[in-house]
Structures are given as C-alpha cells and as structure tokens.
A and B are shown apart, each in its own frame.
Chain A
Amino acid sequence: TQLLEQSPQFLSIQEGENLTVYCNSSSVFSSLQWYRQEPGEGPVLLVTVVTGGEVKKLKRLTFQFGDARKDSSLHITAAQPGDTGLYLCAGEGGTSYGKLTFGQGTILTVHP
C-alpha cells in the first residue's frame, strides 16, 4: 500500500500570513491531486500535477510536484479566513494504478 504523509496535521494562523503544507511519500506517483474540504461537504479538487518539478498557480495558491514525483507542496500566500478547511493530497499511479490514495489531511484555520 502506498502511503502519503501530510504535514503539519494542524495549522492555525492569522489572516495575511503565508503557509506551506507538505505531502510526502516513499513511492512514485503518476499524478498527484490536491483537494480542499469544508466541514460536512465532500472534497473539491484544486489542482492536478503530473510532471516532476511542475509548478501550478491558482490565485494565491502555488502547488509544486517534486522532481522525483514522490512529494508535493501547497503554498498559500496571504491566507484569508475563507481558506479555512481540510487540505488533502491524493496520489495515483505506481502500484496503485487507477486508485486514488489520500493523505490524512491538514486542518487549516485562518483567524481574522
């Protein structure tokens, strides 16, 4: 079973601060996805990265896929209270072809 470890598990910051969430594995993934989930709702896809070293930007969010396709990071600039939620990374590929394996998530709270 391929495992994805996210860190930190909890993050509590003030509005306007920057933050980075990490997603690490010992396995290689064909692609990696980041989701955001609000309480009582299903996860919503933010981005998919497929190429080693790839960087994608989505407004204040920057996503990077590691060169070896084993790790990824999510950086948020000038966090806002609306960014509060559970951030999940999920990997597909390798021995888990066609199966999406999720990390345990990072709970982000942005205080006004």
Chain B
Amino acid sequence: EAEVAQSPRYKITEKSQAVAFWCDPISGHATLYWYRQILGQGPELLVQFQDESVVDDSQLPKDRFSAERLKGVDSTLKIQPAELGDSAMYLCASSPYPLTEAFFGQGTRLTVV
C-alpha cells in the first residue's frame, strides 16, 4: 500500500541550529501539505503545494521557515534558526487533488533544546 514517507522520525537539535525535514508523497499526488502539531492538539497548516507551486503559506513563519518542492514530487521543510517553541510534530500529507482525502505520513518529532 502506498504511503507518505517522512524522515527523520525523530530529531533533537539545539536552539539556533538549522534543521530540515523531508517528505516523499504518494506517487501521483499533486497536492502536498506540511502541518505542525503541538502534542494533544490538532494539526495547523504551514504550507500547501499544488505540484511545485505554493498555494497557501499564510501560516508559515517566513523569517525562519522555508519549504520547497522543486520538481513537484518530494518536499523539504527547513527551520533556521530553530527556537524552543518549534518543538512539535511536523506532519506531511498528500492528496491527488485539492481537496480530497489527505494521506498523512508518520511525522517528524522535533525537540529543540
């Protein structure tokens, strides 16, 4: 069964350092989402791609966060510099169209110390 792949699963980094997360969506899915989830809360959309284009990044803290999907397939989310408040689960999801069922990866658990 096709899955959304994310790496790493866990990441511990010191504040002020740079960190990057990678996501490989299900093959053929044009829409890709990055969400941030605080423990015990609902996911918050950071950025949404349609193919290689950003269609919504209104909640992305652009002073420190960046996201790209250069070839319209896999995607990278970067934080530089990381802050203590960035500790959270970062979830990637994909769907064939915006918006049908979203398939989520297992996420990357980030801890900033």
Contacts and interface: CB of A to CB of B under 8 A. Distances in A.
A33 interface: yes
B56 interface: yes
Contacts of A68: none
Interface residues of B, number: 25
Interface stretch (B14-22, B66-74, B76-84, B99-107): B99-107
A100 B45 contact: yes
A63 interface: no
Interface stretch (A35-43, A53-61, A70-78): A35-43
A103 to B, nearest CB: 5
B104 A104 contact: no
B99 A99 contact: yes
30 contacts: A6-B42, A31-B99, A40-B107, A41-B107, A42-B91, A42-B105, A42-B106, A43-B91, A43-B104, A44-B104, A45-B101, A48-B101, A86-B40, A88-B42, A90-B102, A97-B99, A98-B31, A98-B48, A99-B45, A99-B48, A99-B56, A100-B33, A100-B45, A100-B102, A101-B45, A102-B42, A102-B43, A102-B44, A103-B42, A105-B42
B93 interface: yes
A98 to B, nearest CB: 4
B109 A98 contact: no
Given A90-B102, A99-B98, 16 more contacts: A40-B106, A41-B106, A42-B91, A43-B43, A44-B104, A45-B103, A48-B101, A88-B42, A92-B99, A98-B48, A99-B45, A99-B48, A100-B33, A102-B35, A104-B41, A105-B42
